[in-house]
Amino acid sequence: ETGVTQTPRHLVMGMTNKKSLKCEQHLGHNAMYWYKQSAKKPLELMFVYSLEERVENNSVPSRFSPECPNSSHLFLHLHTLQPEDSALYLCASSQDSGYEQYFGPGTRLTVT
């Protein structure tokens, strides 16, 4: 049990759908992250939140919209995605920015 949970674990959505990925951490951490792992590519940092403020946006398309309502919860809102957005989306948290990260189990997203 890593203390970081993600739901759903699997998601299939059409290009016109709107869906949200949810991440929750039970570790009392101040920083949370969204990563994307596409097939045969390195983990790619998407967003970083520190104390509920977005501190990093790694040139991610606007069809991905993060939300951090409090330090324990992080959402990734998805709309009008493309098939190339199919990937594993991992959430992580750390005590503060730059510290070791604790990862959730990921959401496997398929865009049809």
Partner 1 sequence: ILNVEQSPQSLHVQEGDSTNFTCSFPSSNFYALHWYRWETAKSPEALFVMTLNGDEKKKGRISATLNTKEGYSYLYIKGSQPEDSATYLCASLYNFNKFYFGSGTKLNVKP
Binding site for partner 1 (CB under 8 A): 2, 4, 33, 41-45, 48, 50, 55-56, 58, 90, 92, 97-106
> Does residue 89 contact residue 109 with C-beta atoms inside 8 Å?
yes
Min dist CB 37 to partner 1, Å, is: 9
31 vs 111 by CB, closer to partner 1:
31
Question: What element of type H or E holds 25?
Answer: strand 18-25
Min dist CB 74 to partner 1, Å, is: 15
Name the DSSP class of 100: P
44 vs 67 by CB, closer to partner 1:
44
End-to-end CA distance of the chain: 32
> Does residue 28 contact residue 4 with C-beta atoms inside 8 Å?
no
19 vs 105 by CB, closer to partner 1:
105
